[in-house]
Structure 1
Amino acid sequence: MSTRDLIMMAVRNLWKRKLRTFLTILGVVIGTTSIVVMISIGIGMNESFKKQVEEWGSLQVIDVYGNNGDMFISSDSDQNKGKPKKNVALDGAAIEKFRQMEYVEAVSPIVRESMMLVCGKYVSDASFIGLDPGAMEALGYKVEEGRTLTAEDQEGIVIGRSVVSGFYNPKLSWQMQMQAEPPEINVMEDKILLTYDWSYGTQYADKSIKAIKTPVLGIMPEGGGNGYSVVMPLKQMEKIQKEKEAWRKKQGGYSSSGNQKKKGEYQQVAVKVNDLNKVQEVQQQIKDMGFQASSLTDQLETMKETTKMLRIVLGAIGAVSLIVAAIGITNTMVMAIYERTREIGIMKVIGASLRDIKLLFLTEAAFIGFAGGVLGIVTSFLMSLLVNLVATKQASEMTSSIPIWLYLSAVAFATIIGVLSGYLPAKRAMKLSALTAIKTE
C-alpha cells in the first residue's frame, strides 16, 4: 500500500466519524495550547528580566576588582575554604593578561570621581567615569545624540541625559529651586565646565580652583546607571585627580582618591566578552587568577532562579493537559478498532500486510496529533496576545513570548504524541485473527 493510499484512507476513516475526530483533535488543541502558552510565559519572563538587567548596563561586561587578601572560597577545592588569598595587583600587567584571554573583546581601567558640571550660573552634580576612550562603545555605553569617545580623543565628555536635566542654580534655596523654571541648556552648544569644588557658584566657592573647560561629544539616554553619569578619557580623569590631590595637600587635607590603591594599580577594570554565553566562563577564569569579578549575568541568573519553580509548575500544567489529550487519542483509536474489526479482517484476507494495517492506524493517530498541533499553535498565538495585553495593562512581568522553534516543536511533539498514543491500538489491530474478524458483525 502506497503512502498516498494510506493518507487518503486514514483521512476518509476519520471523516466518517467527524464528531469523535473533532473532539479528539480538540483535546490535542487544548493540550498543545496549554503547554505552549505555559512555556512561553516562562520564556517571556526570562526575556523581561534580561531587558530589565540590560538597562543597568551590558550583560557582556565583567567588572574586575583587586583582591585585598580577604577570606575567600576557592572554586577548585573545599580544602582552600577560609584561607586568605595572596594579594594580586590589578595593574597594567593584569590588564594585558585579560586582553590575551579567549573571547575578550575589550579591556579598560575604570576610575570614578564625583564632580560637578557648570553651565553659566547653573551646576549639575554627576558621577564621572574615566576609561579607555577606544573601549567606550564596546563596553556598552550608547548615545542618543552626538557620538561616543574614540581612541583619538584626549579630552571631551559624554553626558547622561539625567545629568543634563539636573542643572540648578546653587544660589537658590531648595524650595526656590523647586518653584523655579528648569533652565534651558544645550550642552552640545553651550560652554560647559567641570569642577571638583562642590561650593562652586556660592559665596563659599574656592577661588583657587579653576573650572575646567571641556567639549561635550555626546549625550547618553536617560534610564539605567549611565543616565546619571559622565564619561571621559582615562588620561583626562587622571590629570584632574592629580590636580585635586595637589589642591588637597595645599589645604592640609588627606587624599580622597580611592580609585587607585598604588601608582599603576586600579580599583576596577571592565572586561568585555564577545559572546554572552561565555561570560560566566571568562568570569570564572578571572576569579581563578585571584581577582574578584562580577557581572550583570549574575543578577540575571539569580532572577531566573527565583522564578524557576514557577516555570516548572507552568510547564507541568501544560504537560498534564497534553497527557490527557494523548489518552483521548488512545481511546479514539481503540474504539475505532472495535468498530472496524470486520474491515480489518477483510483487509487481511485480500492481502494487506500487518505492516500496512499498523501504518494505517498510526497514520490516523499521527494525523489527529498533527491537526491538533497546528490548530494548537494558532490558538497559542491568540492566547499569547491576550496574556501580553493583560500584562501591559497591569504592568506585570508575566509576559508571553513564543519563538519560532517553540511553534515547530509543538507541532512535532503533538504529532509524536499522536503516533505513540496510536501504537498500542495499532498493535492490537495487527493481532486480530482474520477469520474471527470477518465473522464479527
Structure 2
Amino acid sequence: MQFKDQVDFVRQHIKKNKLRVFMTILAATMGTAFLIVLASVGFGIQDTIRQEMLSNRLITEIDVFSGELDEADVANLKKRDHVKAVVNRQSVGIRQETNLNGFVGEPNLIVSDFGEEAKVGFALKEGRLPENEHEVVVGSHFAAALFDPKKMNTEGEPIAYNGKLLGEQFIYKMGLYEEDELFVDEIPLTIVGIAKEPSKDWLQDVKIYADASVKPKLTEIFNSNVSDVEDVETSDLFYSDVKMYADQLENVKSVSQAMKDEGYSVYSIADELEQMDVFFLALKAGLIFVGTIAILIASIGIFNTMTMAVTERTREIGVMKAIGASPKLIQRLFLMESAWIGVLGTVIAIIISYGVSYVANFLLPIIVASALGEEDLGGMDVTFSIIPWQLILIASAISITVAMISGWRPARKATKIDVIQALRQEL
C-alpha cells in the first residue's frame, strides 16, 4: 500500500467517527494549550524582571567592594583588560546643608572623576560638566528639595524653590550628626549642570556631584573641626562606591570572575541575571511539568478512541491481513491516526495559545492596575505571557509524543487480531 493510500485509509475512517474524533482532538488541544499558556507566564515574568533590571542600570557595570581600596588601587583597576572606565564616587558621610538664596536643603555631596563619568555617559539635562574649581552638577530633583523655612504656603508647609539653577551659587556647609550646630566654614559652589532624570519616576536625585578639586577643602574643614570631638575618626568623612565598566556586555562575566579570582569582592548584573535565569529555569520546568499532566489526561481520550477504532475495524483488519498486509503496515495505519490527532490538536492549541497570550497581555495590566488603584503599574512595562519558539517546539514534541504513545498499544493490539476470527465477524 502506497503512502497516499495509507493517508486516504486514515482519513476515511476518521470521517466515520467525526464527533468522537473531534472530542478527542478537543481534549488534546486543551491539554497542549494549557501547557503553552501556563509555561508562557514563566517566560513573561522572567522577561519583565530582566528588562526592569537592565533598565535600572548600565549592563556593563560591576560593583567593587571598596572597603580596602585606595586611589592607587582604583588607578590599577583602570589598566585591566576589557575595562572601559572605573568610577569612584566618594560620598560625604556626615551631616550636610546647602543654602541657595535663603532656600535650605540637605543633599549629599559626591566627589567623582568626571573624565571617567563621561566615558560611561553621565547624562545631563542642562548645562555642562565641571571644568573649574568649585563647579558642580546637581541632581534633577535638587531644586525640589530646597525649602525656605521662613515662608509657608497656605497648607502651612515651607515654600519650595522654583527659580533657575544654572549659574547660581550656593553655600555648602558640613557638621556632625552628634552636634546641634554646623561647622562655621563655608564652601561656595556654582551650579554648571543639571543631571538627567533617573529612568524611573519614583527615583529622586537630589545629590551634588563635584570633582576632586573640592576634596582637599572638605578634608581641611573636617579635620579642623573634629580634632576636639571624641569618637570621631578622619576616615569617616568619605565612603566610596567603586564601579567598574566593561567595554562590552560579553566581557562583564570574565572581568568579574578575574576580579574574584584575585580576592576582590565584586558583584555584577551578570551575577544577577545568572541567578535569576537558574531560578526561572526551575520555575519554567515546573510549569511545563504541570502542563504535561494535562496532556497526559488528554491522552486517555486518545487511547480510548484508538481502542474503539481497533474494535470497530476488526473485520477490515482481518481482510487486510488475508490479502497480505503486514503487521507493520497495520500498526503504522493506527499510529498515523493517533499522530494525526496529536498534530491537529497541537496546531489548534498553538493558535489558541497565541490568542490567549495577546489578550492576557492586553487585559491583565489594566485589571491589575485598576485593582491597585494605579494607572500604569508605577511605570513598569509588565508582560504577563511570552511564547518563544522553544516553548512551541517543547509543547509540540510532548503533545505529539504522548499521542503516539497513546495509540501504540491499540495499534499493537490490531496486529495480533486473528484473521479467521476477524473474518467471521459480521459487518
Give the TM-score range, shorter chain: 0.7 to 0.9
Aligned to 1:122: 103
3-state secondary structure, aligned to 1:169? strand
CA contact (8 A) 2:64 2:241 kept: yes
Percent of aligned pairs with the same amino acid: 25
CA contact (8 A) 1:142 1:221 kept: no
Shift of 1:2: 4.6
Output the amino acid matched with 2:341: I
* C-alpha distance after superposition, 1:85-113 (max 9, x if no partner): xxxx55545654575346x5543333223
CA contact (8 A) 1:39 1:314 kept: yes
* Cα distance in 1, alignment partners of residues 110 and 6 from structure 2: 71
Shift of 1:135: 5.2
Q: Within 5 A, what are the aligned runs for 1:202-351?
A: 209-216=186-193, 218-221=195-198, 223=200, 227-228=204-205, 230=207, 232=209, 236-251=210-225, 253=227, 255=234, 258-259=237-238, 267-273=240-246, 282-295=255-268, 314-351=287-324
Shift of 1:64: 0.7
Aligned to 2:342: 369
Query: Unaligned 5+ residue runs, structure 1?
Result: 69-88, 261-266
Deviation larger for 205-214 or 302-311: 302-311
> TM-score if structure 2 supplies the norm length?
0.74
Q: What is the total number of aligned residue pairs between the two structures?
A: 401
Output the amino acid matched with 1:244: L
Q: Cα gap change, 1:135/1:250 in structure 2, threshold over 3 Å: closer, same or farther?
A: closer
| Match 1:360 to one of 333, 353, 359 | 333
* C-alpha distance after superposition, 1:279-304 (max 9, x if no partner): 56643432221112224566667778
Q: Cα gap change, 1:217/1:66 in structure 2, threshold over 3 Å: closer, same or farther?
A: closer
CA contact (8 A) 2:113 2:211 kept: no
* Cα distance in 2, alignment partners of residues 428 and 308 from structure 1: 40
Q: Cα gap change, 1:56/1:440 in structure 2, threshold over 3 Å: closer, same or farther?
A: same
| Match 1:426 to one of 393, 411, 421 | 411
* Cα distance in 2, alignment partners of residues 99 and 437 from structure 1: 86
Aligned to 1:38: 38
Query: Unaligned 5+ residue runs, structure 2?
Result: 176-180, 228-232
Q: Cα gap change, 1:292/1:29 in structure 2, threshold over 3 Å: closer, same or farther?
A: same
Output the amino acid matched with 1:46: Q
Aligned to 2:230: none
CA contact (8 A) 2:111 2:215 kept: no
* Cα distance in 2, alignment partners of residues 106 and 438 from structure 1: 86
* Cα distance in 1, alignment partners of residues 5 and 138 from structure 2: 72
RMSD: 4.3
* Cα distance in 2, alignment partners of residues 218 and 409 from structure 1: 48
Output the amino acid matched with 1:36: I
| Match 2:173 to one of 197, 205, 209 | 197
* Cα distance in 2, alignment partners of residues 164 and 14 from structure 1: 76
Q: Cα gap change, 1:211/1:231 in structure 2, threshold over 3 Å: closer, same or farther?
A: closer
* C-alpha distance after superposition, 1:132-175 (max 9, x if no partner): 546547758666x45997xx9789766544435333225457x8
1:409 has 2:394 as partner: yes
Q: Cα gap change, 1:186/1:43 in structure 2, threshold over 3 Å: closer, same or farther?
A: farther
> TM-score if structure 1 supplies the norm length?
0.72
